[in-house]
Amino acid sequence: MFEQRLDSKEATIAGKDIGRVEMDLRVGEEVPMEEDDEFMLSRNYFLAKEAGSTSRKKSTQKLSDIDLIDEQVLRMAVSAIKPKHEKEIESLIKSYKDLYSKWLFELRCGFGLLMYGFGSKKILLEDFASTALTDYGVVVINGYLPSVNIKQVVITLAEVLSDQLKDKRKNSTGSKSRTQQPFRSQSIEDLLSFLNLQLPDDNDCFICVVIHDIDGPSLRDSESQQYLARIASCSLVRMVASVDHVNAPLLWDKKMVHTQFNWCWYHVPTFAPYKVEGSFFPLVLANCRNAQTTKTALVVLQSLTPNAQSVFKILAEYQLANEKEGMPINALYTKCRERFIVSNQVTLNSHLTEFKDHDLSLKEFLVASFQIFSCCC
């Protein structure tokens, strides 16, 4: 979805230029630099297209021409890459410490902070949160992970805020603590209205949500962004987030930008390696088929029935525990029966056939009349 938007951005640029120029004629002021930039952008696009069409003819080099090394070795090598300019990067990140006070000031004034620029900003944001935001509860969301449950996040936020308010009540006189339903059983609307309470006496009581990669894979869909925007607009919540994708602003509409997130942008390139953030991406020089298989295997697994998923899980767990040997079918059947996953061998066999048919890398051995399955996913 994100990629599609990204394409449409490129496609509409030429049209946008015309609109902007007209607008500026009306304003009668000097044309801002952006216009030139956008003109260059569209020009470059077509130049690149042209160059692409010629270079495609020229360059017919195959990836296999490279002396590719084994994937395992490559993965090891990736984790052992010697960092460059460690000191400089550290001092670059440290140089942003001077801005912490400003960031805090802006948060206290009701703005959200959005950090962008090349390099992982994970360390920077968490350092900011743990040094400058000690007076406020801080919840960190790792948006770079493949899945984040927003409802769980909101429950946690409500709990942290509730603790913070309780502490405050203890210290101030005359207010009563309200007994209420546990947060886990409340609807998301109730939780959001709790986060949006108007405190009459204190406008400096809030909790902070730090989101690494608010444009990350798990948060890219519009529903998640809508919920995040609603969280950000709550009076007792402030948001500090980072974006890495160049087209991240396309995630938000005018309402989200102007009334909910209320971002104050900061360009803070760190050049720190995207260690964790990048760990979920396939390696381009690793066997591409493999990467595809992992992806497709996931799709297949998700579309299986819960029972079939459980059978695969048992098989996978066994495989992880015993790397070298496969699982005898009898053992698998017994285990599945114990857990009420299958009731007869026929069902189990049908599940196994399905795994094989869908290329879930299941190897079958027939060793001395024992059928042994091994899972290589």
Binding positions for another protein, 69-88, rule CB under 8 A: 69, 73-74, 76-78, 80-82, 84-85, 88
Q: Contact between 178 and another protein (CB under 8 A)?
A: no
Left (φ > 0), alpha (ψ -120 to 50) or beta: where does 117 sit?
Answer: left
Choice between 20 and 337, CB closer to another protein: 20
Nearest residue to 188 (alpha-carbon basis) of 151, 135, 234: 151
* Beta-bridge partners for 373: 327, 364
Using CB under 8 A, which residues numbered 327 to 346 contact another protein? none
**To the nearest whole angstrom, how small is the minimum distance from the Cβ of residue 182 to another protein?**
15
Q: Contact between 243 and another protein (CB under 8 A)?
A: yes
Tokens 């603590």, residue located: 177
Choice between 187 and 344, CB closer to another protein: 187
Using CB under 8 A, which residues numbered 28 to 57 contact another protein? 29, 32, 37, 40-41, 43-45, 47-56
| Binds another protein (CB under 8 A): choice among 14, 17, 108, 347 | 108
Helical H segments across 202-305, by residue range: 222-232, 254-255, 288-303
| Binds another protein (CB under 8 A): choice among 228, 234, 241, 263 | 263
Choice between 115 and 314, CB closer to another protein: 115
Nearest residue to 158 (alpha-carbon basis) of 56, 104, 68, 231: 231
**To the nearest whole angstrom, how small is the minimum distance from the Cβ of residue 297 to another protein?**
16
Work out the burial of residue 292: count CB atoms within 10 Å of its CB; fewer than 13 is exposed, 13-18 middle, 19 or more buried.
exposed
Q: Contact between 26 and another protein (CB under 8 A)?
A: yes
Element (H, E) at 138: strand 138-142
**To the nearest whole angstrom, how small is the minimum distance from the Cβ of residue 184 to another protein?**
15
Residues touching another protein, count (CB under 8 A): 146
Choice between 205 and 331, CB closer to another protein: 205
**To the nearest whole angstrom, how small is the minimum distance from the Cβ of residue 245 to another protein?**
4
Angle subtended by helix axes 122-132 and 100-108, to nearest 10: 70
Q: Contact between 293 and another protein (CB under 8 A)?
A: no
Left (φ > 0), alpha (ψ -120 to 50) or beta: where does 287 sit?
Answer: beta
Q: Contact between 184 and another protein (CB under 8 A)?
A: no
CA 133 to chain centre: 23
